[in-house]
Structure 1
Amino acid sequence: MTKARGYGPQIRHTRKRPTGYEVTFRYYAPHATRVQLKGEWYFERPTALSERLTGPDHLVETPGLLPAQWRPGDVPIAHPNSTSPYWPVVDMTKGRDGVWTHTTPLPGGVYTYGFFVDGDADDTTITDQLPDPGNPAWNVVNGVVHGTAVDRSQIYVPSDPDFDPDDVTWQGPSEGARGKLLHVTYDSPGHVTPADKNYLVVYTPPNYNAKRAKPYPTFYLSHGGGENEMGWNTQGNMANILDNLINNGAVQPMVVVMPNATGYASSSQDQLHRTDLIERVIPWVEAHYNVSTEASDRAYSGLSAGGMRTSYLLLNNTEQFGYYGMMSAGLPPGTTLTDAQIAAMKKVSVYVASGWQDPINPGFSTIHRGPFRMVRDLTDAGVHVQTVFIDGGHEWYVWRLLLRDFLTRVAFLPATTAPASWGV
Structure 2
Amino acid sequence: MKQHFNLMLLAFLLSGYFCSGQTVVEDFKPSSLNQPGQEYPQVNSQGYARFQIKAPEAKSVVVSLGLGGAKGGTELSKAENGFWMGTTAGPMDEGFHYYHVTIDGGVFNDPSALNFYGSTRWESGIEIPAQDQDFYALKDVPHGSVQQILFPSKSTNTSRRAYVYTPPSYHKDKSKNYPVLYLQHGWGEDETAWSNQGRVNLIMDNMIAEGKIKPFIVVMTYGMTNEIKYGGLASFKIEPFQTVLVEELIPYVDANFRTNAKQTHRAMAGLSMGGMETKTITINKPEVFSHYALLSGGTYKPEDIKDKSKVKLVFLSCGSKERPDGVKNAVTGLKEAGFNAVSYVSEGTGHEFQTWRRSFKELAPLLFKD
Structure 1 residues 128 and 238 mapped into 2: Cα distance closer, same or farther (>3 Å)? farther
Which residue is 1:75 aligned to?
A: none
Residue 311 of structure 1, aligned match among 272, 279, 287 = 279
Query: SS at 2:161's partner residue?
Result: strand
Deviations 1:140-194 (A, max 9, x none): xxxxxxxx9632324363x6xxxxxx33211322233444433443322333xxx
Which residue is 1:330 aligned to?
A: 298
Structure 1 residues 390 and 151 mapped into 2: Cα distance closer, same or farther (>3 Å)? closer
How far residue 403 of structure 1 moved from its aligned partner, in angstroms, is 1.0
Question: Do residues 7 (structure 1) and 38 (structure 2) align?
Answer: yes
Distance across 1 between alignment mates of 2:202 and 2:327: 27
Residue 331 of structure 2, aligned match among 375, 388, 401 = 375
8 Å CA contact 2:96–2:352 kept in 1: the answer is: no
Deviations 1:12-39 (A, max 9, x none): 8x8xxx63x8765455556655543333
Question: Do residues 152 (structure 1) and 124 (structure 2) align?
Answer: yes
Which residue is 1:403 aligned to?
A: 360
Which residue is 1:110 aligned to?
A: 95
8 Å CA contact 2:238–2:280 kept in 1: the answer is: yes
Q: How many residues align?
A: 324
How far residue 11 of structure 1 moved from its aligned partner, in angstroms, is 5.9
Larger radius of gyration: 2
Alignment of 1:380-399 (within 5 A): 380-391=336-347, 392-399=349-356
Distance across 1 between alignment mates of 2:190 and 2:333: 30
Which residue is 1:73 aligned to?
A: none
Question: Do residues 250 (structure 1) and 212 (structure 2) align?
Answer: yes
Distance across 2 between alignment mates of 1:134 and 1:36: 16
Query: SS at 1:325's partner residue?
Result: strand
Residue 241 of structure 1, aligned match among 196, 203, 217 = 203
8 Å CA contact 1:216–1:255 kept in 2: the answer is: yes
Q: Kindly indicate whether structure 1 or structure 2 has the higher relative contact order, using CA contacts under 8 Å at least 6 residues apart.
A: 1
How far residue 260 of structure 1 moved from its aligned partner, in angstroms, is 0.7
8 Å CA contact 2:55–2:83 kept in 1: the answer is: yes
The alignment's TM-score, normalised by the length of structure 2, stands at 0.71
8 Å CA contact 1:206–1:243 kept in 2: the answer is: yes
Distance across 2 between alignment mates of 1:36 and 1:394: 22
Distance across 1 between alignment mates of 2:318 and 2:272: 9
Structure 1 residues 168 and 106 mapped into 2: Cα distance closer, same or farther (>3 Å)? farther
Question: Do residues 286 (structure 1) and 254 (structure 2) align?
Answer: yes
How far residue 354 of structure 1 moved from its aligned partner, in angstroms, is 2.1
8 Å CA contact 1:7–1:27 kept in 2: the answer is: no
Distance across 2 between alignment mates of 1:119 and 1:319: 54
Residue 132 of structure 2, aligned match among 167, 173, 192 = 167
Aligned AA (1:228): D
Distance across 1 between alignment mates of 2:346 and 2:161: 32
Structure 1 residues 116 and 314 mapped into 2: Cα distance closer, same or farther (>3 Å)? same
Which residue is 1:70 aligned to?
A: none
Deviations 1:373-394 (A, max 9, x none): 6435533433231122343332
Which residue is 1:216 aligned to?
A: 178
Structure 1 residues 268 and 228 mapped into 2: Cα distance closer, same or farther (>3 Å)? closer
Aligned AA (2:321): Q
Aligned AA (1:399): W
Query: SS at 2:287's partner residue?
Result: helix
How far residue 280 of structure 1 moved from its aligned partner, in angstroms, is 1.0
Distance across 2 between alignment mates of 1:268 and 1:107: 32
Which residue is 2:310 aligned to?
A: 344
Structure 1 residues 249 and 372 mapped into 2: Cα distance closer, same or farther (>3 Å)? closer
8 Å CA contact 1:261–1:273 kept in 2: the answer is: yes
Residue 37 of structure 1, aligned match among 63, 70, 78 = 63
8 Å CA contact 2:182–2:218 kept in 1: the answer is: yes
Which residue is 1:228 aligned to?
A: 190
Alignment of 1:19-58 (within 5 A): 19=46, 25-27=51-53, 34-39=60-65
Query: SS at 2:183's partner residue?
Result: strand
Distance across 2 between alignment mates of 1:87 and 1:229: 29
Distance across 1 between alignment mates of 2:162 and 2:315: 24
Seq. identity, %: 24
Of 214-223 and 286-295, deviating more is: 286-295
Which residue is 1:82 aligned to?
A: none
Aligned AA (1:37): V
Which residue is 1:61 aligned to?
A: none
In structure 1, stretches of 5+ residues that fail to align are 43-65, 67-85, 121-126, 140-147, 160-165, 363-369, 415-424
The alignment's TM-score, normalised by the length of structure 1, stands at 0.63
Distance across 2 between alignment mates of 1:402 and 1:208: 25
Distance across 1 between alignment mates of 2:307 and 2:155: 29
Query: SS at 2:198's partner residue?
Result: coil
Distance across 1 between alignment mates of 2:40 and 2:109: 14
Distance across 2 between alignment mates of 1:92 and 1:232: 35
Distance across 1 between alignment mates of 2:100 and 2:328: 37
Structure 1 residues 256 and 343 mapped into 2: Cα distance closer, same or farther (>3 Å)? closer
Distance across 2 between alignment mates of 1:156 and 1:213: 42
Residue 182 of structure 1, aligned match among 128, 141, 147 = 147
